[in-house]
Amino acid sequence: MKNTPFTDKHIALGAKMADFAGFNMPISYTGINDEHATVRNNAGVFDVSHMGEFMLKGTQALDLIQRITTNDAAVLTAGKAQYSCMPNEQGGIVDDLLVYCIEENKTYMLVVNAGNIDKDWNWILKHNSNGVEMQNISDDTCLLAIQGPNATKILQPLTDIDLLNMKYYTFQKGKFAGVDNVLISATGYTGSGGVEIYFQNKNGAAVIIWDAIFDAGKAAGIKPIGLGARDTLRLEMGFCLYGNDINDTTSPIEAGLGWITKFTKDFNSRGLFEKQKTTGVQRKLVGFEMLEKGIARHDYEIKDFEGGTIGIVTSGTQSPTLGKAIGIGYVDTKFSPIGSEIFVKVRNTLLKALVVKMPFV
């Protein structure tokens, strides 16, 4: 397993560690429910340095990004980012990602999922027909996500960048905790606000920044947060997790990602997605609440009243905020309207559930 520059910090804090995408990562410290509530109500720090970062440079960089992603990166100006996905030729998703415009028409950073770093790199390389300079900076890049309603207030004394007024999906580079060239981005995958900070671990920057954040947030009760709470937080918001809710066989239209699928340019499977958007799809990703006691888990079957299979659960948990079991999954389109009654097969029992609007909170 690989370690991040913060692994020793996690272990010293008593984190429950586990292998995630080949990295030794903290799953929880004080417990998922406690950590979840900390982020929803205050502020928490996630080590997400396992994520992948690629730099694309040159006059053809934008052209390459336009051809491999579904969203329209041409609208990005320096200091702006967007959520997107890379489709394959069969109508599936290679990965979902963030695209950062460092310098308009010249320099971009792509942030990809940890488990897909090698796959994504090879995919982009395969489509790089115009000599775009590519650099995989994943191993040299630290990434901390400081999330929660009080996150920017806690961090503001550590930088001259105006974090309190930073608009969603924008970013700036500057000095943070005395460290130069830190990229601070108003993004995150919790739905509770906050920022993500990217930096190179030079001259002990990782320890300097980690300690500065916790010193600044000590009085406010900032806490380290593991990947367990990261999953429950994103699920309450209905955010897709690659490998669970989207993969090489799911289309962005089926997954409710039509809003990042722009037909103003050409990209893999564009024609198929246009057809799906026009004529409809046979299955859709929906959110549901369990009406009977039981938790829907990944790959559990979804049934109709007669017991016929109509879909599959992709993610499920006991919502710490709502105090009830929730999940998302693909169902036959006729069962996708809000208020539809479905059944989840938990062991050998069919438990009633209701399709609801996302986000759940």
Same domain, yes or no, for 152 and 225?
yes
Q: Which tens digit of pLDDT belongs to each residue from 72-129?
A: 999 999 999 999 999 999 999 999 999 999 999 999 999 999 999 999 999 999 999 9
Q: What is the CATH number of the domain that holds 43?
A: 3.30.1360.120
Same domain, yes or no, for 149 and 212?
yes
CA angle, 123 as apex, 121 and 128 as ends, to 5°?
Answer: 90
Same domain, yes or no, for 181 and 289?
no
| Boundaries of domain holding 190 | 7-48+139-235
Same domain, yes or no, for 31 and 150?
yes
Q: Which of 210, 235, 260 is a domain's end point?
A: 235
Structural domain includes residue 360:
yes
Same domain, yes or no, for 324 and 206?
no
Angle between helices 227-236 and 32-41 (to 10 degrees): 60
Same domain, yes or no, for 349 and 286?
yes
Distance CA(284)–CA(186), nearest Å, equals: 30
Structural domain includes residue 74:
no
Structural domain includes residue 134:
no
Q: Which tens digit of pLDDT belongs to each residue from 112-121?
A: 999 999 999 9
Structural domain includes residue 96:
no
**Bridge partner residues of 342 (DSSP):** 353
Same domain, yes or no, for 34 and 144?
yes
Query: E strand or H helix at 260, and its extent?
Result: none
Same domain, yes or no, for 30 and 155?
yes
Q: Which residue has the tokens 């300690």?
A: 211
Task: Name every residue whose Cβ is closer than 8 Å to that of residue 129 and which is 6 or more positions away in sequence.
Answer: none
Same domain, yes or no, for 34 and 165?
yes
Same domain, yes or no, for 175 and 299?
no
- Structural domain count of the chain: 2
Same domain, yes or no, for 216 and 144?
yes
Q: Which tens digit of pLDDT belongs to each residue from 200-256?
A: 999 999 999 999 999 999 999 999 999 999 999 999 999 999 999 999 999 999 999
Q: Is residue 278 exposed (0-12), middle (13-18) or buried (19+ Cβ within 10 Å)?
A: exposed
Residue type, 97: L
pTM over 0.95: yes
Q: What is the CATH number of the domain that holds 344?
A: 2.40.30.110
Q: Which of 235, 262, 296 is a domain's end point?
A: 235
